[in-house]
Amino acid sequence: MAGIGGGGVSVRDPPVEGVLFDCYGTLIDILTDERSIGTYRLLSRWLLYQGVRIAPDHLRELYRSRVDEALGRTGERYPEVRVEEVFAGICAEYSAWEIDAGWLGIEAARAFRAASLRRLCVLEGSLRLLDLFDTQKIGIVSNGQRVFSEQEVRILGLYERFDFIVFSSDLGFRKPDPRIYATALDRMDLAPQEVLFIGDNCENDVLAPQKLGMQALHVKEAWRRYGT
């Protein structure tokens, strides 16, 4: 059995030189409500003070339809969009005076996330995994929106613990598209068999990495295996 780091923890051969983590449900416990009209009431009020006038119910309907339209235009099997671009378009269309739609799209996306947020914390078992793997190359591969997901990783004190983060919004496609894992492997400059993927979704974080030749564990199995 091959050793990991300096702690003598082992997994199957070959040796693990790098570890990739999923983000939400693996490192971060989060609960959001993007369907509640209350989320859109808060965002609508915030937008009013930025020069954008749109009713909460219309904002909810328009945001969801514009996201669906943007996803459909990509032509990808597992499509992804940048939500700040969706909000930028809405802000430009419903502005009461001249605005910087690009900047406001970014801020609106973050305000939307804040309005929808119900719970945000670190999963302690995975913090201990990070301590265990601190001598390896280490990264995050997430179906997430960099515009607010990176802020959450930072505020929870995780950002500096990783060499890099790949968010699906950077690429225009999501897990389990094999290209998102290939992007991370390129960043690590490692062969697939040298990398362990840990996550909470069996299809995205276990089966898909294994198809590429990576080692993979469900996060709960990783907690059990490494005594965290």
Which range marks the domain in which residue 213 is found? Answer: 2-27+123-225
* Structure confidence by residue, pLDDT tens digits, 189-208: 999 999 999 999 999 999 99
The last residue of one of the domains, among 118, 144, 164, is 118
**Upstream peptide bond of 209 is cis (omega within 30 degrees of 0):** no
| Residues 211 and 195 occupy one common structural domain | yes
* Nearest CA-CA partner of 3 in 228, 226, 197: 226
The last residue of one of the domains, among 118, 151, 182, is 118
Entry pTM: 0.91
The last residue of one of the domains, among 118, 151, 171, is 118
CATH of the domain at 128: 3.40.50.1000
What percent of the chain is predicted at pLDDT more than 90? 90
Q: Spell out a b/e string for 87-112, using b for 16 or more CB atoms within 10 Å of the CB, else e.
A: bbebbeebbeeebebeebbbbbbbbb
| Residues 114 and 129 occupy one common structural domain | no
| Residues 68 and 6 occupy one common structural domain | no
Q: Is the pLDDT of residue 165 over 50?
A: yes
* Structure confidence by residue, pLDDT tens digits, 72-106: 999 999 999 999 999 999 999 999 999 999 999 99
| Residues 82 and 189 occupy one common structural domain | no
Give me 207's structure tokens. Answer: 């089966």
Tally of domains in the chain: 2
